Amino acid sequence: MNELTAIYEYAEKLMTAGELNKLNEHLVLLDIDKLTIDQLIAWLTATLPVRSKLPYRRRLFREVKMEIKIRNKWEKGLLAGLE
């Protein structure tokens, strides 16, 4: 299983089980500067359906956006629809 699939499956497992607190805690512990841009976007995408129920997700979005800019990989529309 590749890393992106693992992200989606882990998030789906926790969402299905109603373990949103655990999912939120996992987002808090992400080591953003060590993840690839694809992995960061995967976390935002995977948690989109429950974004309003994950207190940390809004901050994660801002931190991911900043990290992508720091890496000089920012493109307009890259995170469109993932807020």
Domain boundaries, the chain: 3-70
Place of tokens 């299905």: 16
Cα 3 to Cα 6: distance, rounded to the nearest angstrom? 5
pLDDT of residue 67: 97
pLDDT of residue 11: 98
Q: Is 83 helix (H, G, I), strand (E, B) or coil?
A: coil
DSSP string for 52-64: GG-TTHHHHHHHH
Mean pLDDT over residues 73-81, rounded? Answer: 95
* Residue 83 pLDDT level (bands cut at 50, 70, 90): very high
Cα 71 to Cα 53: distance, rounded to the nearest angstrom? 29
13-67 pLDDT tens trace: 999 999 999 999 999 999 999 999 999 999 999 999 999 999 999 999 999 999 9
pLDDT of residue 78: 95
